[in-house]
Structure 1
Amino acid sequence: MKKYMNESMDPCEDFYEFACGNWKKYHSIPADRTSYDTFEMLRENLDVVLRNLLSEPIDEEENYLLNSTLYNKTTKAAVKAKFFYKSCMNEERLKQRAEKPLIKLLNELGGWPIIQPDWDDTNFDLEKLMADLKLFNNDILITEWIGPDIINSKNYIIQIDQTTLGLPGRSYFLDASYSKYLDAYKAFILSVATILGAPMTEAVQDVNDLITFETKLANIMIPSENRRNVTDLYLKTSIGALRNYFPQFDWVHYFSIILGKEVDLEEPVACYCMDYLYKLFDILKHTPPRTITNYLVWRFVRHRTNNLDNRFLMAKQRFYYVLFGREQSPPRWQFCVSQVNSNMGMALGSLFVKKYFDENSKNDASTLEMTKRLQEAFRQILKENKWLGDHTKDYARKKIDKMNLKIGYPDFLLNIDELGKKYYDVDAHPDYFFENTLSILRHLTKIEQMKIGRLFDQYGNLQQWWKEESIYNFHQRAKCMIDQYNSYIIPDVDTYMDGFITQGENIADNGGLKQAFKAYEMWLRNNPGADETLPGINLTGRQLFFLNFAQVWCGKQRIDTVKSRLKVAVHSPGIFRVIGTLSNSEDFARVYNCPLDSAMNPSEKCSL
């Protein structure tokens, strides 16, 4: 802790510099990273542990179950995870197979016009193509998922919304100052297409048409700052009603493919994007099938470059260098660990828990005590609150009482049969990384769609349990925080933060710190003789509490990465997670004896 501190800085003037001022002297951003911070350091150590687990020998019996096709007969999820890792690490096999697995799949999907100048649109089927790509867990043009109805959460229903773009945000397509990123995006598409055999002249025109189409999509998407109030977006409708609203799209065909069954016209749908859909179908009406297909397939192909040979990874790296400033790709083993962790996290988690997690610690008395103190601290904060009405407080207390404590890991991770059921339809073979990934993607989509109609608990319904006065007070206080964070200028890019997009997480940071410190104070009262100081650091236990909070956020980002997150990231940069939160904290100001109206103790604070 001490070596990262800049003790020459007055903590009441800039606590981030006081806590993290020397951090950059000891750490630089690795060439294969877009940022580097405390979390990345922990992740590095964890990745090494996970690599060792995945590299452990597979039982001879499990190897014997491999057959001559793409599949294996094992039911053990952890073994499948090891096969998946092994297939990712088999670079020689990837080189041998080259683009063949992707070409085979593209042909099954109806082809990719950009690599087929003679592509015929006679059999173009928009709904089928979108649905087929969704089966591989790709949401393109429309995001579809199964989730609890926010008005009546006892049932899971179909939900649809506007989707994401191929670049981090709308600005990349609409703001001329982002032109270098758009040019790099075009070059990336063209590189992948030419590797797959696209003739250059025709491909350039196809890419230009594709970008024009995606720019139109960016233009009709509702910005995130206008989507904060979910009740304003929510419309409870049905498949039949959607068919009446948008008869140009065969919703029955689309949902039947995704759900794997014939759908009823009365099937409920929660729609969050009616205005977007009206504009989307107008764009589609005036866009040639070739361009639409090129775009849909590209959005799928882009992510499949991860599962092919080094030519595709190099094309991606050139793009990432411009987009994020990343100087090189991560080591292959680290990439493969990430692939397993993101796609088969529970299976990998079971290996970790068995080897490193003490089962008794799951029910450790001190851990349980800490979580219960946090709950009690929240109750105290609620009791002391002056701006919430009594009715709203009563409902908030009921929500606290219904909270479930989730500590350690779910029990099924240690149950081979139960865990195996989670991955029952996942096929894995050490020679077929591409097909293994497709199998997992199909599995993830299937699991998602099987949730439809599932019962949920009775306490998650969206209802207006806040009284109007409390709502008004909340918005006034939230506006204070929005204005506060809007005033911060991000170092290196000389650009103001977006306090609106980040308001939810800023509120959470402020409230979480207040709650944690109150819980710590409760512990100190019950342990009056505890020595909470550290040798070599002349700070009290309470002061160390805030120092530790701040040093969690020590780190740095590449400039292009900062720019990419400006209008899409819901978290503030680390420096303002420290300065913004602590400058609102009466506890911090008291513990560090900060004079009133010093930088870290303004007389006007934002509090929720």
Structure 2
Amino acid sequence: MSPNAQPLLSPSLETAPLLQNVSHPDGVPADQDEEPSFIDRLAAIVQEPLSPLTKVLLIATLIFLLLSSVFIGLFAGAQHKLNHGERNGGATVTVTATVTTTSQATTTAASTTTVSYPVPPEPTSPPEEPVCLSASCISLASSVLSALDESEDPCENFYDYANGGWLKSNPIPSDKGKFGHFEEIALQNKRLLQQILSEDSSSHFSETSSLMASSPYDEQLLQKLRGLYQSCLDEDYLNEIGETPLKELTQKIREVFRGKTTVVDILKSKSEQERDRLTAVVAYLHSRGIGALFSYTTDGDVGNDPNLMTLWISQPDLGLPSKEYYEEESIVDLYQKTLKRLLITLDNEEDTILEEQDMDEAPSKLVVHEERLKVWPPWPWPPWGDDDDGDSPENRTERAQRLAKEIVKFEKRIANASLDLDILYQDPIATYNPVPFKNVSASLPEFDFSTYFSTFAPRNFPNAIILTSTTYLSDLSRILNDTNKDVLEAYFVTRAGLAYSSYLGLETEAWQAVRSLEEVLNGIKKGAVGDRAEYCVGRVESALGFALGRYFVRETFGGDSRRVATKVITDIIGAFKKSLKKLEWMDKKSATAAAGKADALRVKVGYPLSPNTEDPRSLANWYYRVTIKNDTFFENMLSAEIADQIRTWFRIGKQRDPQSWEMYASTVNAYFNPPANEIVFPAGILRPPFFRGDWPGYMNYGSFGQVAAHELTHAFDSAGRLYNQNGKLEEWWTNSTSNGFNVRQKCIVDQYSNYTVDDGKGGKIHVNGNLTSGENIGDSGLIQAFRAWKAQYNDKTEFLLPGLNYTREQLFFISFARSWAQNIKPQAAVARVRTDPHSPNRYRVHGTVSNIPEFAAAFNCSRHAKLNPPQEKRCIFW
């Protein structure tokens, strides 16, 4: 009852006399000694007129007696059922229930029943578990139930057992090569961002709307964001202007490479002039985010000062996803056709040709006019003549075909000179090679690094450059010397075409040429194009993601989300530290150091503070160089890319910003950064099916907990373990501990190398256990999430989900497995195996749980089950 509720009767009525004075029926005074009989008293009451109050109380009395009778009957029935199931004999007792009702007359009703119960009472089954019936739990239970395929054996095929229903209900969209929970959440996030970017977003986001009105910086940010978005949506205009923006860019590339925009020193030799032109064109491409010849980034000098931002130079991205593709004839043929189409489309050269007119109007008349190049080089060439003057000119189509083949040969040589990805991703010692700035050009004399650096950072030259490969630049030198200049020019033009064709209209030849290649590489249905708004949101996010993250966070990351997520992470760190004391392969000295590194981890949850998501002025300053005008989408994206490259170079020589992030707040992902010794979890991934603040712990620790444990474990995987707690690259474990780790690492390499994927052609491709070893070890951290959940478990708050006949332990592992649900085309699966350090999702589940005995115990797996191998065959790190 509410404390403010009023009593049913007023105080005056409650204190009224219980009985009224009445006269004897025979005229005998009431105070005489003779007492009337019970019959006389009852008759007197019946004959006396009833007051309204008396009537009300009598009705209440009857209702109360009726309810009491029902209660007594139910009680007797329950006792009868209990007696019916007794096994050890019992005692019989008599229970008398007496109900007294008070009105102006007092009535007492007594009911006696005899029941039997066992002595002592023993329940015939365990007491029922309490069930969580909140709206969140009901929705979660429905989601889990619909995702299951209980026809599968969890001990043999847990991935399909946990995800079979979801996989059947979520086919891959025709415009994509894969679709899983990560993609599903990303799509949900984009739909929310789309509302923010729409002009009418104020009607959907009242809080954001009021914020916009009060902050001029928010108005600036939203103007940039929406301007870029709208320029992307204007497909009619993009198709109308065609390839013009890309042609202007590639024409500039040709001019720079030919020296038309630079002052050529006549005192320089031909080789020096060629070096200047090569340097200028690569700097121009890199300033616009177009990869060519080599790549660069900025990060800490992990051998000396991990927080001193230094320039790193590495191998470039290729036109095809990996070097293996250059050995596939069908892929190479398609790639050559794509390059040929780009070269023809982006050829801006013009020449004078003859074209025959309509013979009916002018049968003998030929006109001369300017048209796009049909013959190259211009004939005759060279203009001063040579021994080949009698040869026929090369047709433009034939020339494009020849150059496309030469580009593929050129890229294949670069691929062969590049490090294998398992070394690039998994061996931080082999890829740390600091070189003094003044000596770096010695490896590549065809390139002037001093001029290159001055293009980006005229006041801030790096003292040293870190090379990921000691041989790549010298190999590149030989490749450049063996390559004709027209092939190099064509290579630079096609690099720009591959990078920027997606920003053109869908009706352009350049867009269609690159799309045809992507369709085959990713298994996308030919001609299938996804929702334009979804694409445009992604482009805005990639260009202005920190600004867009401000409004995403305000709508999705409130309440206790950060606190609850942070607790999950810190609980897992605590469980990890406890497990270190029990590892047979890690000695006490190394365990102490490992615990110190875990304590030193920076934990970042939700959104960055540099630029500050909470401060629109900080974000406006971050993006002030990005100019979004009423120009084409192509030009707007180019502006954003140039600004991003400027920010990259301005970091060189400065200390790391401890508040900076490498991901946007809306990103569905997480990461560990070894030099910074930090684990980072954007708000974008802190959403179902990974996380919700009011979920039971076994669900949050099984889903988001495994993400947190994965990133934590990266600090101690095959690469992460080589960085100390300050992010410095050094051997900080003892030799015996390192040897013990190496034994287990070999175990997991061998385990995952036995897994295969279909290549779509009737064959199998093995997972690269060396390439994926770090991520597989990261996945082994799931056991820490399990232990962390167990340590904080409270049976009074973590109720079971309704309608699911599973234990909490089983639901923990189901929550883990369902995070990785994904349908994927064979072509996309092949690309992943060749390029991605993460194993296919099916094996991220099966490989992980087969190494955790607690999984087999939770599902009572037989010792012969596929996912319950003998203990000696498990790869157990923790």
Give the TM-score normalised by the residue count of structure 1: 0.90
- 2:219 and 2:199 map into 1 onto residues whose CA distance is 18
Match in the other structure for 1:80: 224
Q: CA deviation at 1:79?
A: 2.2
Match in the other structure for 2:419: 222
- 2:447 and 2:255 map into 1 onto residues whose CA distance is 21
Q: Deviations over 1:367-393 (max 9, x none)?
A: 333222122111112222221122211
User: Compared with structure 1, are the counterparts of its residues 504 and 207 closer, same or farther at alpha carbon in structure 2 (3 Å cutoff)?
Assistant: same
Match in the other structure for 1:31: 174
- 1:447 and 1:362 map into 2 onto residues whose CA distance is 31
Q: CA deviation at 1:586?
A: 1.5
- 2:457 and 2:743 map into 1 onto residues whose CA distance is 44
**Structure 1 residue 155 corresponds to structure 2 residue 308:** yes
Match in the other structure for 2:560: 361
Match of 1:498 among 768, 772, 780: 768
- The aligned length equals 581
SS of 2:835's partner is: coil
Match of 1:422 among 588, 604, 622: 622
- 1:16 and 1:497 map into 2 onto residues whose CA distance is 17
**Structure 1 residue 212 corresponds to structure 2 residue 384:** no
User: Compared with structure 1, are the counterparts of its residues 361 and 56 closer, same or farther at alpha carbon in structure 2 (3 Å cutoff)?
Assistant: farther
- 1:193 and 1:355 map into 2 onto residues whose CA distance is 46
Q: Deviations over 1:310-336 (max 9, x none)?
A: 223322222122111111222211111
Q: Deviations over 1:35-88 (max 9, x none)?
A: 0111122222222111111113599xxxxxxxxxxxxx9982332111111111
- 2:562 and 2:820 map into 1 onto residues whose CA distance is 29
SS of 2:292's partner is: coil
Match of 1:250 among 443, 448, 451: 448
Match of 2:503 among 307, 319, 333: 307
Native 8 Å contact 2:256 2:280 kept in 1: no
- 1:417 and 1:192 map into 2 onto residues whose CA distance is 42
**Structure 1 residue 390 corresponds to structure 2 residue 583:** no
- 1:465 and 1:255 map into 2 onto residues whose CA distance is 35
Match of 1:186 among 307, 318, 336: 336
Which amino acid in the other structure matches residue 515 of structure 1? Q
RMSD across aligned positions (CA) = 2.5
Greater shift, 5-14 or 489-498, is seen at 489-498
Greater shift, 590-599 or 534-543, is seen at 590-599
Match in the other structure for 1:403: 601
Which amino acid in the other structure matches residue 783 of structure 2? K
- 2:747 and 2:790 map into 1 onto residues whose CA distance is 27
Which amino acid in the other structure matches residue 337 of structure 2? A
- 2:405 and 2:562 map into 1 onto residues whose CA distance is 58
User: Compared with structure 1, are the counterparts of its residues 192 and 113 closer, same or farther at alpha carbon in structure 2 (3 Å cutoff)?
Assistant: farther
Q: Deviations over 1:532-553 (max 9, x none)?
A: 4222221111100101111111
**Structure 1 residue 515 corresponds to structure 2 residue 788:** no
**Structure 1 residue 606 corresponds to structure 2 residue 869:** no
**Structure 1 residue 345 corresponds to structure 2 residue 545:** yes
1:561-600 → structure 2 map (5 Å cutoff):
561-600=828-867
Give the TM-score normalised by the residue count of structure 2: 0.63
Native 8 Å contact 1:75 1:420 kept in 2: no
**Structure 1 residue 471 corresponds to structure 2 residue 738:** yes
Match of 1:129 among 273, 281, 285: 281
Q: CA deviation at 1:169?
A: 0.5
Match in the other structure for 1:543: 810
- 1:167 and 1:329 map into 2 onto residues whose CA distance is 21
Native 8 Å contact 1:74 1:80 kept in 2: no
Q: CA deviation at 1:6?
A: 2.1
Q: CA deviation at 1:362?
A: 5.5
Q: CA deviation at 1:423?
A: 0.4
- 2:637 and 2:820 map into 1 onto residues whose CA distance is 34
Match in the other structure for 2:252: 108
Which amino acid in the other structure matches residue 851 of structure 2? N
Q: Deviations over 1:222-256 (max 9, x none)?
A: 21234432212322211211133443321211222
Match in the other structure for 1:534: 801
- 1:400 and 1:146 map into 2 onto residues whose CA distance is 25
Q: Deviations over 1:386-420 (max 9, x none)?
A: 21122211111111111222122234112111111
Match in the other structure for 1:287: 483
Which amino acid in the other structure matches residue 555 of structure 2? K
Q: CA deviation at 1:158?
A: 1.6
Q: Deviations over 1:431-477 (max 9, x none)?
A: 32111111111111111111111124792211211111111111110
- 2:519 and 2:465 map into 1 onto residues whose CA distance is 41
Native 8 Å contact 1:341 1:348 kept in 2: yes
Q: CA deviation at 1:274?
A: 1.8
Q: Deviations over 1:491-523 (max 9, x none)?
A: 565322211111111110111x11111111112
Q: Deviations over 1:330-358 (max 9, x none)?
A: 22111111101112111111121233332
User: Compared with structure 1, are the counterparts of its residues 204 and 404 closer, same or farther at alpha carbon in structure 2 (3 Å cutoff)?
Assistant: same
User: Compared with structure 1, are the counterparts of its residues 76 and 58 closer, same or farther at alpha carbon in structure 2 (3 Å cutoff)?
Assistant: farther
Native 8 Å contact 2:287 2:642 kept in 1: yes
Q: Deviations over 1:186-234 (max 9, x none)?
A: 1222222333347322111111111111111122222123443221232
User: Compared with structure 1, are the counterparts of its residues 431 and 542 closer, same or farther at alpha carbon in structure 2 (3 Å cutoff)?
Assistant: same
Which amino acid in the other structure matches residue 217 of structure 1? I
Greater shift, 415-424 or 100-109, is seen at 100-109
Q: CA deviation at 1:112?
A: 9.6
- Which structure is larger by alpha-carbon Rg, 1 or 2? 2
Match in the other structure for 1:462: 729
SS of 1:405's partner is: strand
Q: CA deviation at 1:363?
A: 4.9
Runs of 4+ in 1 over 4 A off after TM superposition: 111-114, 121-124
Native 8 Å contact 2:180 2:823 kept in 1: yes
Q: CA deviation at 1:605?
A: 0.3
- 1:342 and 1:253 map into 2 onto residues whose CA distance is 30
- 1:497 and 1:522 map into 2 onto residues whose CA distance is 35
SS of 2:312's partner is: strand
- 1:145 and 1:367 map into 2 onto residues whose CA distance is 31
Q: Deviations over 1:244-277 (max 9, x none)?
A: 344332121122213244747xx21111212111
Native 8 Å contact 1:150 1:460 kept in 2: yes
Q: Counting helix residues as a fraction of each chain, which structure ranks higher? A: 1
Higher relative contact order (CA 8 A, sep 6+): 1
Q: Counting strand residues as a fraction of each chain, which structure ranks higher? A: 2
User: Compared with structure 1, are the counterparts of its residues 247 and 318 closer, same or farther at alpha carbon in structure 2 (3 Å cutoff)?
Assistant: closer
Structure 1's unaligned 5+ residue stretches are 60-72, 115-120
- 1:232 and 1:415 map into 2 onto residues whose CA distance is 41
